[in-house]
Chains A and B, each alone.
Chain A
Amino acid sequence: MPSVTNMLRDKNQHGQRRYSAFGLLRKGLSNQPWPRVWREVPLKDSYDVVIIGGGVHGLATAYYLAVNHGITNVAVVDKAYLGSGGSGRNTAIVRSNYLTPEGVAFYDRSLTLYNSMADDLNINVMFSERGHLTLAHNDSSLRTMHWRAEVNKLQDIDSSVIDPAEIKKIVPSLDVTSEARYPILGALYHPPGGIIRHDAVVWGYARAADAYGVEMHQKTEVLDILVEGGEGRDGKGAGGQVTGVMTNRGKISAPIVVNCTAGWASLISDMAGVDLPISTRPLQAAVTEPVKVFLPAVVVSGSLHTYVSQTDRGELVFGAAVDPYNNYSIRGSLEFTEGLAGHVMELMPGISRMKLLRQWAGLCDMTPDYSPIMGATPVEGFLCDVGWGTYGFKAGPVSGEAMAECIATEKMPAIIAAFGLERFAKGDLVGEKGAAAVGH
């Protein structure tokens, strides 16, 4: 908890005005404009670290570089605006009930960081630990859920399999009768799971990193990665050393360049001559008109390829599985809406008269084992934090922390040791599909 003296002190040690209830009231009464959240400064021609991608991963990495390691001569560049990628388009679900021990430990650390984020970053991230239910409609998914629950319990994660009567108690609007087309046989219940205000997370990291001197450069598109001494075309590729990036605003020199571009990761990586095992697929989501709050938990159905939660404003937010073929276009499709509507009505027949307000899509960087790719690449100084697929928002804080440590110490931190790029050549995959196939 921030102390009262802290709350009354108007500015933090970096001269930024603190956000507080008092400040909100004062602004409300005086009608003054709010100050910029982060500075806009001229682009320099060299930095210690250039981070490509201003989503939660790039910004968290920059923040932890500054806070945990004192590395502040850092630029985060984004071709559009901060949060324009998956970080501003996701359905904001956070949880740690994964299937592999490596995944569980990793996502659990992220939940811990999310828990203290409002204080750490002095921004209201509206983290709501409302509970997360994954429904089983057949024996095989029930078996996977028991498996997940046991893996989770071993690592002290609150996660258990519950029966339809208990499900009905938590979410009365669900059809748990045996007459349903896909009867609900049970659910994996994960009370610490919930939703968070994703924009505030992005802005919070940007604002906090800015306070330490990190620079954020929007509308700055990386067009090429400069590499010397590699064995591929133009000295790129394995054995090379990165020297900087070429952008639409000129050349930037840097001994370390980090790829945090999610759906665009393959394009950036190719500029350095590094191949990735990634396919880019759009993931679509949709939101309804607001109604009185009736859905207290996040509900996911793997068999029906859908999930739903209700915002504090009352809208239902729906997501699904990724589109069926590779695509760099983020146009929504009618078949998505149609399939989604059919599936959610199987679960909650009562919402059939509600209207969808909007649908949208974001690009997801899918990997063969539904796990990320982090750390070094065959090009010296060119690091990656990609492969976030449909599940990377919740991983933002822990990834930033681990990538910052990786950059500062030049060693792979234990918590991400399983996620290196070399695992694909070694055939040492992480196998998280059982807990990540429905995108959230």
Chain B
Amino acid sequence: MLLVPCPNCGPRNSSDLRYVGESHKRPDPATTTPEEWRTYLYMHKNPADWMMETWYCSSGCRRFFTIERHTATSEFRNPPLPGGKRGGRA
């Protein structure tokens, strides 16, 4: 089982968390166009490489966080960052 390092709970089984997906910078809803908003909602880089992604610690601290994981080896690198719902930091 993949062990996901939650910034609050430490390493936890991935089945204890919910995967939110690739992190994207959220555009400002006040100024964005519908097309830009949909690009933010739907488009992905989906690299076979290091990727910033968001997890939700659903059976632990119930917080969202972002972390860098390699999508071919599933290694994590760099400490996790607390993040907004769809991972404000990209």
Residues of A bordering B, CB below 8 Å? 264, 266-267, 270, 275-280, 324-329, 333-335, 368, 424-427
Contact = CB atoms under 8 A, between A and B. Distances in A.
Contact of A279 (B2, B15, B46): B46
B50 to A, nearest CB: 12
A326 B21 contact: yes
Interface of B: 1-2, 14-15, 19, 21-22, 34-35, 38-39, 41-48, 51, 53, 71-74
Contacts of A329: 72-74
A276 B51 CA distance: 16
B43 A328 contact: no
Interface of B is mostly: mixed
Given A335-B1, A427-B34, A326 B46 contact: yes
A275 B45 contact: yes
Contacts of B39: 275, 424-425
Contacts of A267: 46-48
A425 B14 contact: no
Given A335-B1, A424-B42, A328 B14 contact: no
A425 B32 CA distance: 13
B46 A324 contact: no
Contacts of A327: 71-72, 74
Given A324-B19, A325-B19, A424 B43 contact: yes
Given A275-B44, A280-B46, A335-B15, 12 more contacts: A266-B46, A267-B47, A270-B47, A275-B43, A279-B22, A279-B46, A280-B48, A325-B53, A328-B48, A328-B72, A329-B73, A368-B41
Contacts, number: 68
Contact of B2 (A275, A325, A425, A426): A325
Nearest to B19: A325
A89 B39 CA distance: 32
18 contacts: A266-B45, A267-B46, A275-B45, A279-B22, A280-B71, A324-B14, A325-B19, A326-B19, A326-B21, A326-B51, A327-B72, A327-B74, A328-B48, A329-B73, A334-B1, A424-B42, A425-B38, A427-B34
B53 A326 contact: yes
A279 B51 CA distance: 12
A276 B14 contact: no
Contacts of B53: 325-326
Given A326-B53, A427-B34, A276 B46 contact: yes
Contact of A277 (B2, B19, B44): B44
B42 A279 contact: no
B71 A328 contact: yes
A427 B38 contact: yes
A326 to B, nearest CB: 5
A427 B35 CA distance: 8
A79 to B, nearest CB: 13
A282 to B, nearest CB: 11
Nearest to B37: A427
Contacts of A335: 1, 15
Most buried by A among B1, B42, B51, B71: B42
A341 to B, nearest CB: 16
A224 to B, nearest CB: 15
A333 B47 CA distance: 22
B75 to A, nearest CB: 11
Nearest to B2: A325
Contacts of B22: 279, 326
Contacts of A424: 38-39, 42-43
A346 B44 CA distance: 37
A267 B44 CA distance: 11
B32 to A, nearest CB: 13
A368 B42 contact: yes
Contacts of B45: 266, 270, 275
A236 to B, nearest CB: 15
Contacts of B42: 277, 368, 424
* Closest 6 pairs (CB-CB, A-B): A266-B46, A277-B42, A325-B19, A328-B48, A328-B72, A424-B42
B22 to A, nearest CB: 7
